[in-house]
Amino acid sequence: MKFRYKVTLCMISMIAFIFGIGGTFLLYSSFQSSINREKISAIKSFDMVIHTFSLLSQETTWTTASEISKDFGKIVEQNDLFVAISLHKDKELIYKSSDFVNDMEEMCDKADYRNVAYKIIRSENQYYIQLCSVIKVENADLYIDALYDITKVYEQREELQKLYIAVFLFVVTSSAVFSYILSYFLTKPISRLKKIVSSITQGNYDLRSDIHTNDEIEELSVEFDRMTDTLVDKMEELNAAVDRQNQFIANFTHELKTPMTSMIGYADLLRRQNLSQEEQTDAANYIYSESKRLERLSIKLLELIAAGNKEQELTIQNPAYLIENVVKHYVPYFQENGIEIEKKCEAGNCMLEPDLFVSLVVNLLENARRAMENGGVIKIVLSMKKDGCDLLIQDTGCGIPKDKLVHITEAFYRIDKARSRSFGGAGLGMSLCDRIAKIHNGSLSIESEVGVGTVVKVQIRGGRI
């Protein structure tokens, strides 16, 4: 059942209940008030008859029942408020004003000298108040019964009941219409929200409820829109992650396929043909070099996966000391390639994962070396900060085009694939460096100009003790 129908039924039920209880109470109160007024009027008139007859009995001496009946009849004729009056002596009827006396019930046992007994009786479609009293005349008990017509009170009640039912039906019908209209406008925003939910469920993620009612429904709408925005953002992130994963797999497959194809070709050449010693050496050297490149590729991948999946524990380290150890082993090799290293490292300790930090420095130095085929200068600057350290590595290499910078930290991305492969690069170094920086709550940024060189800035924010 729809909510608007529930609201309508609740309002109808509440109005019907209140109106029903209130109307019934008013009808009952009005009816009882009318009955009480008729009772008082009947008792007063009946007391007058009894009082008159009592006074007459004190001044008159009756010898026969017919004399009593005759005098009592004269008193009754003077009072026409009663439908019927009867007089009994020792259960013997000695007077009746009309045949309606036959409708009376026996009440002699309830009457006494002080109080008037009464009850409401019904005869066919007529209602009466029957009154009964007893007086003593010449040592004999005379019982007087009277019928007082109150049919008009019951007729008025029936008319009021019919009017009440008509008014009740009108009120209920009117309230039903009004309640439905009111509930329709109250639940209209909910219906709109439902349609929006249905549309979003079917894939229309651009829709928003945008409900303004200045109540809880508007608050619900705002929260729903916020939830939808969050959901869309998460879905976009998930889709982007899936795309990156698919691209990663495609690139990885390509990186494996290219050397494997060449290695298989050279191996098949060695197996099937008679080659000279020089040709065999070239083929073996190529297979060896490609195998080493695949080894480096697998190591890089393992480091990249480990850096992303394993929760790293940072310890107190001296980054200047770690850089010094790396540079000490690389200086001879770099000097052979005409590359000079200049370093300026500020002493101090901060929170690091040493192996990852060393891998970061090594990868940045390797990237700088590959950018300088004809030699050059690499500057290393380390400065300590209150919450970590900043590492800057600058080279005088070939530089990176600006349109390539946004992709430089993507896995397997290479600016010049042919040149990178010849230098043993797999396009994973910068991706690993970016991941390492994030593990240390830091960031990696690159500035470069073609023909001038590249500056890589790494912020390490693991904290200081």
- Identify the CATH number of the domain in which residue 377 sits: 3.30.565.10
Question: Could you tell me which residues come within 8 angstroms of residue 370 by beta carbon, excluding any fewer than 6 positions away?
Answer: 397, 419, 420, 423, 425
**Based on the domain organization, do 326 and 291 belong to the same domain?**
no
Q: For residue 143, is it left (φ>0), alpha (ψ between -120 and 50) or beta?
A: beta
- 136-142-143-148 Cα dihedral, nearest 10 degrees: -90
Q: Is 419 within a domain?
A: yes
Q: Is 228 within a domain?
A: yes
- pLDDT of res. 348: 93
Q: What's 45's domain CATH number?
A: 3.30.450
Q: Is 175 within a domain?
A: no
Q: How far apart are alpha carbons 75 and 255 in whole angstroms?
A: 133
**Based on the domain organization, do 120 and 41 belong to the same domain?**
yes
Containing domain of residue 329, as a range? 312-460
The Cβ of residue 293 has, within 10 Å, a number of other Cβ atoms equal to 18
The reported pTM is 0.48
- pLDDT of res. 418: 43
Contact 378, 395 (CB under 8 A): yes
**Based on the domain organization, do 293 and 324 belong to the same domain?**
no
Measured CA angle at 66 (ends 61, 70), to 5 deg: 80
Burial of 34 (0-12, 13-18, 19+ CB in 10 A): middle
**Based on the domain organization, do 36 and 85 belong to the same domain?**
yes
- Nearest alpha carbon to residue 411 among 243, 293, 285: 243
- Nearest alpha carbon to residue 454 among 366, 390, 385: 366
**Based on the domain organization, do 304 and 316 belong to the same domain?**
no
**Based on the domain organization, do 365 and 436 belong to the same domain?**
yes
**Based on the domain organization, do 109 and 55 belong to the same domain?**
yes
**Based on the domain organization, do 10 and 143 belong to the same domain?**
yes
Question: Could you tell me which residues come within 8 angstroms of residue 383 by beta carbon, excluding any fewer than 6 positions away?
Answer: 346, 389, 390, 392
Q: How far apart are alpha carbons 142 and 135 in whole angstroms?
A: 5
- pLDDT of res. 420: 43
Q: Is 193 within a domain?
A: no
Domain final residue pick, 127, 158, 189:
158
**Based on the domain organization, do 10 and 144 belong to the same domain?**
yes
Look at the chain and report how many structural domains it folds into.
3
Q: Is 358 within a domain?
A: yes
**Based on the domain organization, do 316 and 274 belong to the same domain?**
no
Q: How far apart are alpha carbons 73 and 69 in whole angstroms?
A: 6
- Nearest alpha carbon to residue 217 among 176, 185, 189, 179: 189
Q: How far apart are alpha carbons 92 and 178 in whole angstroms?
A: 68
Distances (CA, A) of 75 to 66, 78, 129, 241, 265: 14, 5, 20, 114, 146
Q: Is 169 within a domain?
A: no
- pLDDT of res. 113: 79
Q: Is 188 within a domain?
A: no
**Based on the domain organization, do 343 and 418 belong to the same domain?**
yes
Domain final residue pick, 136, 158, 180:
158
Q: In what order do the strands lie in the sheet with 376-385?
A: 339-345, 376-385, 388-395, 453-460, 443-449
Q: How far apart are alpha carbons 387 and 25 in whole angstroms?
A: 81
Q: Is 36 within a domain?
A: yes
**Based on the domain organization, do 218 and 72 belong to the same domain?**
no
Q: What's 238's domain CATH number?
A: 1.10.287.130
Which one-letter amino acid corresponds to residue 84? A
Place of tokens 């290499």: 397
Cα 298 from chain centre: 49
Domain final residue pick, 264, 291, 310:
310
User: Average pLDDT by consecutive 10-residue portion of the chain (465 residues)?
Assistant: 80 89 92 93 90 86 82 84 87 85 81 84 89 85 90 92 92 88 81 82 79 79 84 85 68 59 75 77 78 68 58 86 87 85 92 85 86 89 93 90 76 52 54 84 90 92 84
3-state SS string for 237-301: HHHHHHHHHHHHHHHHHHHHHHHHHHHHHHHHHHHHCCCCHHHHHHHHHHHHHHHHHHHHHHHHH
